[in-house]
Structure 1
């Protein structure tokens, strides 16, 4: 049911001042006009006021209408924030990322939110296919992909580069591919593909990583290095995932010659630009990401 905004304004001021005369003066209206507004509302919603000699009192229906007005005002302010491209320090920042870069970005997002307390951060971990769908469906304003999408509805720009790393337990003496065969491989959803790309350069004449026994598996990017640090195997992961691990001293990274580097792409809908708050955040995050490196 639609509520006439002028009538509602008269009611809200009256509910605050509790007096028809003062309300009319405040609104620069006649007292008769204010009374007519209230009568019109009461025809819609029933009795809203108990009228005393010098003041008025809200009925339960009047209190409900006042609550409705407050909710509409909050919604209006929220809409203003969401639609204002000039608001860099107020509103929502929503981003969806794959696991490795997400582990690196999320603490930086929290740092940024602490320095911009008017912002609200929404971050989700997801595989590439879900990242693309989430941005296309407007559930997230921006996302990060490990490939550049071929989609006219998506704008993509280079965000970061992320080398793959061969990671072993710190206590393991590395002498070559024999060490990897002895340890066994800690697999993960992208493990075989990443290990094949990296190890085929490091050991071009050796058997495939598929010939090395699987010593463990985890689909949680934050947990893949747990068995490695316990000496249970080796793995191959992007650098950001390794840097986010809590126990760096328990790991060692083996140099593999020419690096295998993935480009990470920032994506958003091509039909409209990123909001200024999203752009400000992503520029800061990109710089911080390399400063921390």
Structure 2
């Protein structure tokens, strides 16, 4: 295999046409340039130059090596630039979060992409456990979770808090325990967890969500409030999911005596540096949390 350093010196020498000026351009000694060319000739078993003092002419082998070698040198230069580049507004950024946070952030990140079309947003909605595994496996660049991480590979730091809200049909003015029991619970993947936090802090009668009749279920965060709006039950959801519902006049959000919030954690791989494009997306995201 041809040594790329020797090849670069040879191609530069051909372009400059003079040993001394080539040495100056490459920050080498003249003898160093000459030695590298000689090593190339030895390796290839061909004379590449006909030397005339500090000047030279190319042999046929030298001309062939230069024609093909300069393309290789240029390709290596371009590769070095691409590898070393760390643009802030170009490339794919992979983000994953639970649905409520995603409903809040996704449209803002799309607006960022519209301002910088070379920045491509890849956003996935997933529960906390899937987010944690994806970050640990380097399947995403950053994740948002509502629980701290238990994995060594994942660094998770708190970045925001999101209130949990009790949401009933519009005609449920006083959400006492009997009203909730009569309405029934619209469940979702985090329903038991959210209900346990908020109802447990505000209703002495509450012990477990199984005390309530389940009158519906949806795993699509943007549809969980649809049955509530039709009077089919109540639910407990994070605030961002409630804010994203497109029929707010058909439901009622209640302020309870003891507010409860979830901590939102930013998850990233502990042993990977964060590229500038990911920092750009993270800065935009945290402005809206």
TM over 0.5: yes
Matched residue SS, 2:288: helix
Matched residue SS, 2:161: strand
**Deviation of 1:31 (Å):** 11
Matched residue SS, 1:285: helix
The 1:207–1:121 alpha-carbon spacing in structure 2 relative to 1, beyond 3 Å, is: closer
Identify the residue that residue 279 of structure 1 maps to in structure 2: 279
Matched residue SS, 2:132: helix
Identify the residue that residue 84 of structure 1 maps to in structure 2: 85
Matched residue SS, 2:172: coil
**Deviation of 1:79 (Å):** 5.1
Identify the residue that residue 140 of structure 1 maps to in structure 2: 140
Identify the residue that residue 64 of structure 1 maps to in structure 2: none
| 8 Å Cα contact 1:201-1:256 kept in structure 2 | no
**Which whole-Å CA distance do the structure 2 matches of 1:207 and 1:133 have between them?**
31
- Please show how residues 204-283 of structure 1 align to structure 2 within 5 Å: 204-206=204-206, 208-283=208-283
Identify the residue that residue 167 of structure 1 maps to in structure 2: 167
| 8 Å Cα contact 2:131-2:145 kept in structure 1 | yes
Matched residue SS, 2:222: coil
**Which whole-Å CA distance do the structure 2 matches of 1:281 and 1:35 have between them?**
49
**Which whole-Å CA distance do the structure 1 matches of 2:82 and 2:181 have between them?**
58
**Deviation of 1:99 (Å):** 1.3
| 8 Å Cα contact 1:168-1:251 kept in structure 2 | yes
Deviations 1:119-178 (CA, angstroms, capped at 9, x unpaired): 011111111111111111111111111111133322222122111110012233335222
Identify the residue that residue 94 of structure 2 maps to in structure 1: 94
Matched residue SS, 2:210: helix
Alignment RMSD: 3.2
Instruction: Name structure 2 gaps, 5 residues minimum.
Output: 12-56
Matched residue SS, 1:268: strand
**Which whole-Å CA distance do the structure 2 matches of 1:131 and 1:119 have between them?**
22
Q: How high is the TM-score relative to the length of structure 1?
A: 0.70
Which of 64, 67, 90 is the matching residue for 1:36?
A: 64
Higher Cα radius of gyration: 2
| 1:184 is the counterpart of 2:212 | no
The 1:34–1:181 alpha-carbon spacing in structure 2 relative to 1, beyond 3 Å, is: farther
The 1:270–1:172 alpha-carbon spacing in structure 2 relative to 1, beyond 3 Å, is: same
Q: How high is the TM-score relative to the length of structure 2?
A: 0.71
| 8 Å Cα contact 2:109-2:284 kept in structure 1 | no
| 8 Å Cα contact 2:177-2:205 kept in structure 1 | no
Identify the residue that residue 118 of structure 1 maps to in structure 2: 118
| 8 Å Cα contact 1:196-1:209 kept in structure 2 | yes
Instruction: Name structure 1 gaps, 5 residues minimum.
Output: 11-28, 42-68
